Amino acid sequence: MALIWQLNLLFSPLIIICLLSNVVSSRTRPFTAPTVTPLTNSFPRVPIDPAFSNAFGASNVKLLANGTMATLALDKLSGSGLVSKSSYYYGFFSAAIKLPAGISSGVVVAFYLSNADKFPHNHDEIDIELLGHDKRNDWVIQTNVYANGSVSTGREEKFYFWFDPTKQYHYYSILWNSYHTVFLVDNIPVREFIHGTVFPSKPMSVYATIWDGSEWATHGGKYPVDYKYAPFVVSFSEMQLTGCTSDPLACSKSTPSSGVDPVNGPQFTKLSPQQLAALDWARKKLMFYSYCTDKNRYKVMPPECH
């Protein structure tokens, strides 16, 4: 906004209108995504019931289609969420999600892994957070990694979509093994967090939630949830929970042929040339925030940023 005011002093109103028009049109992101081999075809789908139990807001959770689908709602009384009955050490985790349409600023839909309940002071977390972040019916995706740390150790990156995530289901996926953590949207890698000395390293549960994130999801609370549009309903389907549920030491020492760790084969430990090209496309076209460029927050950049 400060930039626009500066431009207003320098240029004619006509030019300002053109600039604003370009900004708005660019937010629709009319891009054609690259073609990639879909990882979601490599793993089985599981029913939500009995793989998950209610985490909170049980009255706002509805199971559909014989337990293969679920809707979660946010209203004035509560958000809602599901948590996996098993915890996992490495794996592939994915859900087809259809986001609420209409005015949804401040609404947060999350699909993530966490062990904060067991390790409150040094937890691990791998997040896909879908943020209704302003009053223009606009959703963005935030990815985040907590590695053996507190809430001050997050590694956030934010992206625009190249489609309308409210019109139909889209795949949101996490690949996590001893080599890297990869975030994918419709099988397009949007972020690869390569593991160094510190990375998510303890078994985690899988969560699917919707909640009120007004204080931080909308430009510092600028556009809080407007409950006259409630309930806000998100749909989850085609869940995939393929992970190592045995002893973490056994998982870390497993080989592709052992069958213990399902994501330890060569097709999972390194991105293919096709995936790398798609990753580069997503980061150049869609990413609008990275902690690695946030010098106000990090006076000394985290080592992986170098």
List the domains of the chain with CATH numbers.
Answer: 35-245+261-305 (2.60.120.200)
pLDDT at residue number 6: 40
**CB contact burial 199-220 (16+ within 10 A = b; e otherwise):** bbbebbbbbbbbbbbbeebbee
pLDDT band at 258 (very low <50, low <70, confident <90, very high): low
Active site residues: 125, 129
pLDDT at residue number 156: 95
pLDDT band at 254 (very low <50, low <70, confident <90, very high): low
CA distance 14 to 12: 5
Nearest to 26 by CA among 186, 133, 162, 158: 162
pLDDT at residue 16 greater than cutoff 80: no
66/138: higher pLDDT:
66
**CB contact burial 157-173 (16+ within 10 A = b; e otherwise):** bbbbbbeebbeebbbbb
pLDDT band at 299 (very low <50, low <70, confident <90, very high): confident
Reported as a single tens digit per residue, the pLDDT across 96-147 is 999 999 999 999 999 999 999 999 889 999 999 999 977 777 899 999 999 8
CA distance 228 to 47: 33
pLDDT at residue 1 greater than cutoff 50: no
**Mean pLDDT, residues 47-59:** 96
pLDDT at residue 170 greater than cutoff 90: yes
Per mean pLDDT, which range of 82-91, 209-218, 235-244 is the poorest? 209-218
Mean residue pLDDT of the chain comes to: 87
